[in-house]
Amino acid sequence: MEMDVERFAQKNVEKWLTGPYDEATKSEVNRLIQSDKKGLFDAFYRDLEFGTGGLRGIMGVGTNRMNIYTVGAATQGLSNYLKRCFPEVEIRVAVSHDSRHHSREFAERTADIFASNGFTVFLFDTLRPTPELSYAIRTLGCQSGVMITASHNPKEYNGYKAYWTDGAQVTEPHDIRIIEEVSKVTSPEQVLTGLHPEKIQILDASFDEKYLDELMKLSLSPESVSRHRDMRIVYSPMHGAGVRLVPAALHRMGFSNVSMVAAQAVLDGDFPTVASPNPEERATMAMAIEQGEREDADIVLATDPDSDRLAVAVPGRDGKFVLLNGNQTLVLLMSYQLTRWAQLGRLDGHQYVVKTIVTSTMADAVAQKFGVKCFDCLTGFKYIAQIIRDLSGERHRNDASWKERRWISVERISPIVLPALEPNLPHFDQKGTSFMSAGSQKWEFVGGGEESFGYLAGDYVRDKDGVSACMLAAEAAAWARDTMNLSLLEWLEQLYVEYGFYLEGLHSVTRPGKEGADEIKALMVEYRANPPREILDSKVVKVNDFLSPDTPKELHSNVLQWYTEDGTRVCVRPSGTEPKIKYYFGVRAELTRVEEYDRVERELSQKIEAIKKALQL
C-alpha cells in the first residue's frame, strides 16, 4: 500500500513536470525535488477531496494543494456535474471569496470557468461573508455557488466551498458525484477558460442592502435596542470579510456606539496580529478583549476571516472579560430567540431548532421547555441546512436527484441511540418514533448551530452566519439588560440554575501530512477495537459508533461517543477540514444558586482535565 502511494505521488510529479502547466509551477516542483522531498511527497501523494467544509488545503503546487489547477479541476468537474443535473436549465452560479492570499485569483478563475461552460455567473466585486454568498444563491435563483475560503484555518490554507441550489454546502450524493466528475479532469487542457467573459455579472454594494434588509427581519427586541442604543460594542473582523457588513448591520439595528479593532480591520491574508485567525482561541481574541476592557465595553464580538463564525466575550464580575465557548453562545442565542418568540406569541408547536451531535445537550433541555423540537445532525452546517430544506418541504429547483424523505423526532434528554432503521431516516429518537413526512406540514426553523462558534437564525441563509449572529448577540445583551438588568454572563448563570450546569471542553491533537493522517486513522481503529470500559471510575454504559452497520447511511460518519453512568459524554472524531483528531467532553452538575457558580465550574473543569489525563491526552 505504501508503495502504491509512492507510485501515485511520483506519477503526479511527472505529470506536472511534463504536462501543460505554467513554467513557474514546474520550477517550484523542481525546487521541491531538489530541496524538500518530504514536502514534495505531501504535495502529490493524494488529490484534495471534499470533506465537511468542501475542498481545503495548504496553498502551493501539487495535487494535494490549493492552486489554480486544483481549483480549475474542481470547477470544471462541478460544471460537468451541473450540466448533468440541469440539462434543460440556463444554469446560474454565484462566486465570492474572503481575504486570504490568492482568494481573488481563485474566485476569478472559478468565475471564468463557469462562464466558459455557458453559465451565468454572479461574481462579487470584492470579498464578502460566506453567508451572503449563500443568500445570493437563494435570492438569484442559482443552481450552485462557490466560496473561496479556508474559514478559520491558518494563513497557509485556502479552500473551496461548493454550494447547491438551496444555498447550502453540497451533501451526499452530490459531493461524491462531484468528486467523480473532478477525477475525470486529468489535465488543464480539459478545463474551459476565456470563452464567455460577458456572462460574468458583478455584484456590488447594492446587493449588500438586500442582505442587510433580510437581517433586520430577525430583530426581536427593537424597543430594548432603542433604550440601550449607546451600549458599548467592540468588534473585530479578524482581517476578514466582516469588516463592513457587521458594523453596518449593528448600526442599522440601532446601535450607535460600535468601535472596531483598527489593527484587525486591515484586510491581510497573513493575519499579522494573530497566530491563527480562529476566534475559538483566547489568544486570537486577545487584542479585541484588551480593547473591550480598555473601553469598558458591554460586549466584544469577532468573526473569522469569512465571517461565518462568531465569538462573544463579556465582562465578568471582576471586570475581566470572559470568552464564551461555542456551546454557551449557542445556548444564549437559542434561549433568547425562544424566549422572545414565546413572549411575542410566535410559538405554536410547529417550530424546531437544530444542533450537531457534538454540541451541548443543554440545547435539548432549552428546546423541551418551550415545546420546540430539537434535531441532531452530523457535524457540518450542511447537515443543519439539509434538515431545514426537507422540513420546509422545499424541493431543489429542477433537481431530479431530490427524493421525498421522512424525518424522525429527536425528543430526548438522554443520549441518542442508533437502532437499525429503514433507509433514508437521517434523524430519529431513541425509540425510532415517526415524526412527519417532508412537506406534510409547514414547520418553522428558529435557529441552530454547532459548538465550533457557528449559529444561524432564520432560513434565508443556509450556512452559519456570523453577521446575523453578531447582531442577535448584541440585541440579546441589550434585552437582558433592559428586562432583567443582567449582563449576558449573568443571564447564562441564571440559565445554569434553571437547567443544570453544563460544561464542555475540546481537545485537539494535530497530526499533519500523510503520517499524521495514518496515525489518526490508527487511533480510531484502536478506539473501536478497545473502547474504554470506564472513565474516572464511572462505567461506560453506551457506545455510539456512527460507522456501525446499524447506523442509517445518512448518519454514517467517523465519530465515536462514549457515555458513562454519571452523565459524562466523550465524543471523538477526526476533523473533516484540518489535520486533527478532536475530543469533545461534556459534563453536568446541579447549580442550586448563582453564588455557587465558581465552585461548580471549577469542579467540572477539573473533571474534564481528569478525563483528558485518563485518556492519556
CA distance 448 to 243: 24
How many Cβ atoms are within 10 Å of 368's Cβ, its own excluded? 15
Q: Name the phi and psi angles at 116, rounded to 5.
A: -65, -20
Order across the sheet with 55-58: list the strands.
55-58, 157-163, 144-148, 92-97, 120-124, 200-203
Using alpha carbons, list the distances in angstroms from residue 277 to 16, 58, 236, 283, 308.
32, 15, 11, 10, 13
Q: For CA atoms 56, 58, 59, 61, give the dihedral sign.
A: negative
DSSP run (H or E) holding 535:
strand 534-535
Closest CA to 199 of 121, 145, 88: 121
CA distance 78 to 183: 11
Alpha carbon 364 to its chain's center: 20
Q: For residue 89, what is its C-alpha cell?
A: 436549465
Q: For residue 423, what is its C-alpha cell?
A: 433507509
The residues assigned a catalytic role are 151
DSSP SS3 for 512: coil
Question: Which residues, 6+ apart, have CB-to-CB distance to 93 below 8 Å?
Answer: 82, 114, 119, 120, 121, 122, 137, 142, 143, 144, 145, 146
CA angle (391 as vertex; 451, 437 as ends), nearest 5: 130
Question: Which residues, 6+ apart, have CB-to-CB distance to 222 below 8 Å?
Answer: 253, 254
